[in-house]
Amino acid sequence: MAEKKWVYLFEEVEQVQNYVCGEWENVRGLLGGKGANLAEMARLGIPVPPGFTVTTEACNAYLAGGGTLPDGMWEQEIAALHKIESATGKKFGDGKNPLLVSCRSGARYSMPGMMDTVLNIGLNDNTAKGMAALTGDERFAYDAYRRLIQMFGTVVMGVPDDVYEDVLTAARKKAGITTDSDLSAKHWRVITREFKDIYRHHTHHEFPTDPVEQLKLATEAVFKSWNGKRAIDYRKAAGIPHDLGTAVSIVTMVFGNMGADSATGVAMTRNGSNGEKQLEGDYLTNAQGEDVVAGIRLTKDLNELQAEMPAAYAEFEKIVQKLERHYREMQDVEFTIEQGKLWMLQTRDGKRTAQAAVRIAIDMAEEGLISQEEAVLRVSPEQVDFFMHPQFDLEATRNARNQGSLLASGLNVSPGAACGMVAFDADLAESWTKKNGKSVIMVRPETKPDDVHGMLAACGILTSRGGRTSHAALVARQFGKPAVVGVSSLNIDIGKRRMNVEETVVQEGEWISIDGTTGEVFLGQIATTVPDIKDPWLLKLLGWADKFRRLGVWANADYPRDAARAREYGAEGIGLCRTEHMFFEAERLPIVQKMIMSDRRLDQIEALDALLPFQREDFAGLFRAMDGLPVIIRLIDPPLHEFLPSHVNLLHDLADLKIRLKHAATLSDIDELLLEVQTKERILRRVESLQETNPMLGMRGVRLGIHIPELTTMQVRAIFEAACEVAKEGVDVHPEVMIPLTSHVNELEIQREILEGEARKVMDEKGMVIDYKFGTMIEIPRAALTADQIARQAEFFSFGTNDLTQTTFGISRDDAEAGFLIEYMERGILHDNPFATIDQDGVGALMAIAVQKGRSVKPDLECGICGEHGGDPKSIRVCHELGLTYVSCSPFRVPIARLAASHAALEAKRRKKGE
Ligand code: PEP
Ligand code: MG
C-alpha cells in the first residue's frame, strides 16, 4: 500500500485535487487556506517563493497521537525541503548560501493571527555569517537572526515577548534613535547575544543551532497552536469546528528588509470598510512582514509604492486584479519586494464590514463576476442585522463637538457607535462586561491575538496604533464591533491606567464614545439612534433577495408607528397585533381595571363601551399604515390579573395604609384613609379570586373570550368600525381576526359565531361590506394535532411558537432562560435555545402535522408564524421547508428575514440541483 501522503509541494496542487475529488473547499480543508492559495497562485504562474504544505490530516494525527508526528511525515517534510533546496539553489544550514524558510499556520477558515508562525528558520551563528557575506549586509543578517531567536522563543518555547521588546527599547534609547532601522550591524550583533541569553534564562536550554531541529520544533509548535486558548476562543466565537486542524506551510524566506529597493506590505483589492472598489494597503520599505501587521512602525499608504517602486507596483496591481477575477472575491494579500523582485506571500478572501460585504456583492454582480443569486447568498442575515445597529444621534454628536468633547480622531475601520467605560486590558474588559454587566470600550496601544476575548466582550475597540489591516481592525470587522484604530495623538499609559491627548486625561473606568463610522473619539456618553436602512446597496440587495424568496415577510406591530416602520423595511402585512398592549396605556388601564373589578354585567359593558373608541382608533391607524396589505388582529390573550396591581404590592400598600390610619390625626384624614383601605381590599379580593397556580395555562386566550363574550364583541366591533371608517377614506383594508390559545375546535366555533354576528351587525349599520378572514393561533400541541378539525372553522393558522415551544417542552417561557436552559445548552443537552431557534424535531414536527392536516381540509390555507422565531434565520429556513405562507417578526428584523427567506429558497434550489 502506498505510503500516506502528509506533505505536498506547491506544484502538487493537482494531486491534492485528485485526492479530494476536485472540490476546492476540500483542498482548503487539507492544505489550509494559506497553503491552498499559495499552491493555486503557483499554478496560475504568480511569483510565489518555493515551498510546501504539511496537511491538516498530519496535524490531527499529531494531536490525536498525543504529540507524536505520524509515521513518514517528517521524512516527507525533509524530502520536500530538499526539493526547495534544488529549486532555489540554496542549502538548509549551509554556511555559504543558506536556505531560510518560514513556518506558517493555515486553517481551512481564516483565523487571523490566532495561531503561530516562525520566520527565518535556518539561521545560526554560522549561517548568519554566511548571509552577511552573501548579501554584503551584516546589519540585515543579524536583524534576521535576532528575529528568529525572538519568534522561536515566544512561539515555540513560550518566552514572554516583552522581555525581548525591553531589550530593543533599551538599545534604541542608548543609541539615541527612535526606529529599529537605524540600529547598526554592531547593535544587532549585541542584541542577538542578549536574545540568546534571554532564551537560555527562560528555557534553561541553549537556542537550537541545528536548522533541522528548528524546523521540527516549529512545525510541532504550529500544530499545537491549534489547541491554544486564543485559537479555541476564536473558533468558539466564529463558530468554526474544533476538529479541522491546521496545516503548516514551509515557504522559502524572501526579504523585504534588504535595503531601500525592498519592501513588504499588505493590501485589499477593495475597501474593507465601505466596499469601494479601490486597491488599498499599507507597506514599509526595508522591513519584514510582521512589522506591518503588528502596527509597530508607522506604515506608508500603498499609493506611495507606485512612486517609489513603479515597476514592482505595476506588476503587483496586475496580479491582484488577476487574483480577484480568479477567486471572484475581494482578496487580502501579503507581498514582499526583495531587491526589486516582487513575491506574493499570501492571498485570501478579505474580511469586511457588513456595509462593505453588501456593496462588494452588488458591485461584483454588476461587474459580471458573480450572479445576483450569488450576491444575495454572499451576505448573511446577521450582516444585515448590523445595519439595524445604533449610530450616534447627529444632533448629539454636533453638540458634543461644539462642547469640545471630541477627544481625537483615528481610522474608522469598523462602523457603528459604542459608548463604554475605558478598560486597558482584555481580562478587565471581559470581567467588567461579564461579571458586572458594564459597557466597556477596550483601549490598547495595539491589539494582539491574546486580546480577542476582551475584544469580544467589549462593545467597542480603540487603539493608538495600527492601520486598516491591523489585528484590531480585522477582528472588529469580523465580529461587527465598532472600532477606531491608529489614533496617533492618543498616549496610553497602561502602567498608570490612563490615557491622554495633550492636556486631557482619561482614567480607566471613565466613559468615552467611539464612532467607528467616522473615526471620532468623544469624552463621555453620546445618545444613539437606530439607523435608517436607506443604504442604497442594501436596498438593492434586499430587492434582489425578494425576487428569490417564496416566504412572505410580515411584521408583529401593535401601533401605527411600528406598522409604518415595518412597511418601510419591507413588511408585506401585519402578522400579529397584540391588542392587549393597547390596554396598558395610562388613560385606558383604569377603564380595563374597572371592567375586571366589576361584578355587575352592566358595569362591565359600560367599561367595554368606554374602551371601544380607543381600540377603534388604534385599529384605524394600523389599517391606514398598511393600506392594501393584510393586518392580523389577535383578540385579547393574557390572564386578566395582569392588568391589576400585583398581589405583593397590594399587601404592602395595605399594610402601609393601615399604619397611617392608626396614626391619623384628623377625622377627615381617617375618612380618606378608610376609603382607600376599602378600595385596596376590594382589589385584593378580586386579585385573589383571579389568582391561578399556573396562569399561563389558565384563564387566558380564547378562554377569556368564551368567559366574557362581551370582550370579543367589543374588540370585533372596534375592528369592523375602524375598517369601515378607513375604507370610506379610500383605504384598501384587509382585516384578519385571530383567536389565541385555541386547543379545541369547539372553542373556535363559539368565537366564530360571535365574530360573524357582530361583524355583520357593524357592516349592516355602516352599509358596507368588508372582506375579512377569521383564523386562529396554533400554539397548543392539541391544536396542531387536530388541525384538520380546526381548519374547518379557521381560514388561516398562525403558529405562536413562543407558547408552542413552552407547551411542547413543558417548560416555562418566562423562567427557563434564566434557569436550567442555560445549563442545558452549556452541557450540550440542547444544542440551540428552543425559544430562539425552532426545535425542529419536536415543535417543528408539530408544525408539519398542523400544516399537512390543515391543508388536507383547505389546500390554500394561509399558514404563518408570529412567535419570536419568525425573525431567526435558522428558524426561517425551517418555515420555508414547512411550506409556510409567511414569517412575521419584529419590524427591526424584517430586512433580516427578507434575506434569510431568500437564502432558504436559494439553498433549497441548490440542494435540489445537487450543487
Ligand atoms: C406566541 O405564543 O408565539 C405568540 C406569538 O403569542 P404571545 O407571545 O403573545 O403569547
Ligand atoms: Mg402565545
525-542 CB burial, b ≥16 within 10 A, e <16: bbebeebebebebbebbb
| Predicted model pTM | 0.80
611 close to 721: Cβ distance less than 8 angstroms: no
Q: Please tell me the distance between residue 701's alpha carbon and the centre of ligand 2 in angstroms.
A: 8
Q: Which residues contact 588 (CB under 8 A, 6 or more apart)?
A: 582, 611, 614
E strand or H helix at 287, and its extent?
none
Residues 108 and 86: their CA atoms lie apart, in Å, by 29
Q: Please tell me the distance between residue 589's alpha carbon and the centre of ligand 1 in angstroms.
A: 21
Q: For residue 19, is it left (φ>0), alpha (ψ between -120 and 50) or beta?
A: alpha
Residues 34 and 250: their CA atoms lie apart, in Å, by 11
Q: What's the mean pLDDT when you consider all of the chain? A: 91
519 close to 340: Cβ distance less than 8 angstroms: no
Q: What average pLDDT does range 107-121 have in this prediction?
A: 84
DSSP, collapsed to helix, strand or coil, labels residue 468 as coil
Q: Is the Cβ atom of 801 under 6 angstroms away from ligand 1? A: yes
Query: Closest Cα to atom 8, ligand 1: which residue?
Result: 802
pLDDT digits (tens, 9 = 90+) for 795-845: 999 999 999 999 999 998 877 776 788 788 878 899 888 998 999 999 999
Q: Is the Cβ atom of 637 under 6 angstroms away from ligand 1? A: yes
pLDDT tier at 273, thresholds 50, 70, 90 = confident
pLDDT digits (tens, 9 = 90+) for 326-380: 999 999 999 999 999 999 999 999 988 888 999 999 999 999 999 999 999 999 9
Q: Is the Cβ atom of 800 under 6 angstroms away from ligand 1? A: yes
pLDDT digits (tens, 9 = 90+) for 37-52: 999 999 999 999 999 9
576 close to 548: Cβ distance less than 8 angstroms: no
Q: Please tell me the distance between residue 781's alpha carbon and the centre of ligand 2 in angstroms.
A: 12
pLDDT tier at 530, thresholds 50, 70, 90 = low
Which range (101-105, 389-393, 431-435) has the least confidence?
389-393
Q: Please tell me the distance between residue 465's alpha carbon and the centre of ligand 1 in angstroms.
A: 49
Determine the length of the chain. Answer: 915
For 22, 107, 240, the CA distances from 243, given in Å and listed in that order, are 22, 11, 9
53 close to 73: Cβ distance less than 8 angstroms: no
In 376-527, DSSP assigns E strands to 391-392, 406-409, 411-414, 417-423, 440-444, 460-463, 483-485, 491-493, 498-501, 504-507, 511-515, 520-523
Q: Which residues contact 466 (CB under 8 A, 6 or more apart)?
A: 295, 446, 447, 472, 473, 485, 486
Residues 729 and 718: their CA atoms lie apart, in Å, by 17
* 493 strand-pairing partners: 498
Using the structure block, give the residue that is written with the C-alpha cell 477606531.
484
Of residues 130, 112, 110, the one with CA closest to residue 122 = 130
Q: What does the pLDDT read at residue 833? A: 87
Query: Closest Cα to atom 4, ligand 1: which residue?
Result: 800
Q: What does the pLDDT read at residue 391? A: 79
Q: Helices in 328-392 by DSSP H: which ranges?
A: 354-366, 372-378, 381-387
Using the structure block, give the residue that is written with the C-alpha cell 392587549.
580
Q: What does the pLDDT read at residue 413? A: 79
Q: What average pLDDT does range 486-496 have in this prediction?
A: 90
DSSP, collapsed to helix, strand or coil, labels residue 683 as helix
Q: Is the Cβ atom of 580 under 6 angstroms away from ligand 1? A: no
**For residue 109, pLDDT beyond 90:** no
Q: Is the Cβ atom of 639 under 6 angstroms away from ligand 1? A: no
Catalytic residue among 866, 880, 889, 903: 866
Question: Is position 471 annotated as part of the catalytic site?
Answer: yes
Q: Please tell me the distance between residue 695's alpha carbon and the centre of ligand 1 in angstroms.
A: 15
Residues 439 and 418: their CA atoms lie apart, in Å, by 9
Q: Which residues contact 605 (CB under 8 A, 6 or more apart)?
A: 710
* N-terminal to C-terminal alpha carbon distance within the chain: 34
Q: For residue 347, is it left (φ>0), alpha (ψ between -120 and 50) or beta?
A: beta
Residues 782 and 788: their CA atoms lie apart, in Å, by 11
Percent of the chain with pLDDT over 90: 68
Name the closest ligand to CA 805.
1
Of residues 445, 447, 452, the one with CA closest to residue 495 = 445
Q: Please tell me the distance between residue 799's alpha carbon and the centre of ligand 1 in angstroms.
A: 8
**For residue 160, pLDDT beyond 80:** yes
Q: What average pLDDT does range 100-124 have in this prediction?
A: 88
**For residue 269, pLDDT beyond 80:** yes
Q: Is the Cβ atom of 802 under 6 angstroms away from ligand 1? A: yes
Q: Which atom of ligand 1 lies at the shortest distance from residue 740's CA?
A: 6
Q: What average pLDDT does range 597-616 have in this prediction?
A: 90
- Exposure of 828 by Cβ count < 10 A (0-12 exposed, 13-18 middle, 19+ buried)? exposed
Q: What does the pLDDT read at residue 470? A: 73
Q: Is the Cβ atom of 783 under 6 angstroms away from ligand 1? A: no
Strands 91-92 and 98-99: parallel
Name the closest ligand to CA 558.
1
412-437 CB burial, b ≥16 within 10 A, e <16: bbbbbbbbbbbbbbbebbbebbeeee
The amino acid at residue 708 is I
Residues 906 and 723: their CA atoms lie apart, in Å, by 38
* Helices 56-64 and 24-43, axial angle in degrees (round to 10): 130
Q: What does the pLDDT read at residue 807? A: 96
Residues 337 and 325: their CA atoms lie apart, in Å, by 23
Q: What average pLDDT does range 78-104 have in this prediction?
A: 95
Q: Is the Cβ atom of 245 under 6 angstroms away from ligand 1? A: no
249 close to 156: Cβ distance less than 8 angstroms: no
How is 504-532 classified by DSSP, letter by letter?
A: EEEETT-EEEEETTTTEEEES---EEPPP
pLDDT digits (tens, 9 = 90+) for 714-738: 999 999 999 999 999 999 999 999 9
Q: Please tell me the distance between residue 720's alpha carbon and the centre of ligand 1 in angstroms.
A: 24
Question: Is position 831 annotated as part of the catalytic site?
Answer: no
pLDDT tier at 599, thresholds 50, 70, 90 = confident
E strand or H helix at 60, and its extent?
helix 56-64
Task: Give the mutation target among 779, 804, 812 for probing the ligand 1 site: most ligand atoms within 8 A of CB.
Answer: 779
Q: What does the pLDDT read at residue 468? A: 64
* 520 strand-pairing partners: 409, 515
Catalytic residue among 187, 471, 641, 869: 471
Of residues 599, 602, 580, 578, the one with CA closest to residue 589 = 580
Q: What does the pLDDT read at residue 288? A: 79
Percent of the chain with pLDDT over 70: 98
For 236, 246, 250, 449, the CA distances from 226, given in Å and listed in that order, are 13, 6, 17, 13
CB-facing half-sphere around the CA of 469: CA atoms within 13 A = 27
Q: Is the Cβ atom of 867 under 6 angstroms away from ligand 1? A: yes
Q: Which atom of ligand 1 lies at the shortest distance from residue 802's CA?
A: 3
**For residue 854, pLDDT beyond 60:** yes
Q: Which residues contact 392 (CB under 8 A, 6 or more apart)?
A: 417, 513, 515, 526, 527, 528, 529
pLDDT digits (tens, 9 = 90+) for 667-698: 899 999 999 999 889 889 888 888 888 888 99
Q: Is the Cβ atom of 84 under 6 angstroms away from ligand 1? A: no
pLDDT digits (tens, 9 = 90+) for 751-797: 999 999 999 999 999 999 999 999 999 999 999 999 999 999 999 99
Residues 101 and 122: their CA atoms lie apart, in Å, by 7
Q: For residue 500, is it left (φ>0), alpha (ψ between -120 and 50) or beta?
A: beta
Task: Give the mutation target among 577, 578, 743 for probing the ligand 1 site: most ligand atoms within 8 A of CB.
Answer: 578
Q: What average pLDDT does range 162-191 have in this prediction?
A: 87
Q: Which residues contact 705 (CB under 8 A, 6 or more apart)?
A: 635, 636, 711, 712, 739, 751, 754
pLDDT digits (tens, 9 = 90+) for 412-462: 878 789 999 999 999 999 999 988 889 999 999 988 877 888 998 999 999
**For residue 54, pLDDT beyond 80:** yes
Query: Closest Cα to atom 10, ligand 1: which residue?
Result: 803
Q: Which three cell numbers stand for residue 553?
A: 415577510
Of residues 581, 559, 563, the one with CA closest to residue 571 = 563
Q: Using DSSP, how many helices (H) and how many strands (E) does the chain show?
A: 38, 33
392 close to 482: Cβ distance less than 8 angstroms: no
The amino acid at residue 168 is L
580 close to 638: Cβ distance less than 8 angstroms: yes
631 vs 401, higher pLDDT: 631
pLDDT tier at 1, thresholds 50, 70, 90 = low
Q: What does the pLDDT read at residue 418? A: 93
Task: Give the mutation target among 802, 868, 893 for probing the ligand 1 site: most ligand atoms within 8 A of CB.
Answer: 802
Q: Compute how many other C-beta atoms are within 10 angstroms of the C-beta atom of residue 823.
A: 10
Q: What does the pLDDT read at residue 689? A: 85
Q: What does the pLDDT read at residue 295? A: 55
Using the structure block, give the residue that is written with the C-alpha cell 375618612.
671
Q: Please tell me the distance between residue 794's alpha carbon and the centre of ligand 2 in angstroms.
A: 17
For 168, 173, 174, 508, the CA distances from 178, given in Å and listed in that order, are 10, 7, 10, 28
Q: Compute how many other C-beta atoms are within 10 angstroms of the C-beta atom of residue 450.
A: 17
Q: What does the pLDDT read at residue 296? A: 59
* Cα-based torsion angle of the residue sequence 94, 100, 106, 112 in order, rounded to the nearest 10 degrees: 150
Q: Which three cell numbers stand for residue 62?
A: 499529531
Q: Is the Cβ atom of 97 under 6 angstroms away from ligand 1? A: no
Q: Helices in 767-814 by DSSP H: which ranges?
A: 781-785, 787-791, 801-809
Using the structure block, give the residue that is written with the C-alpha cell 483601549.
443
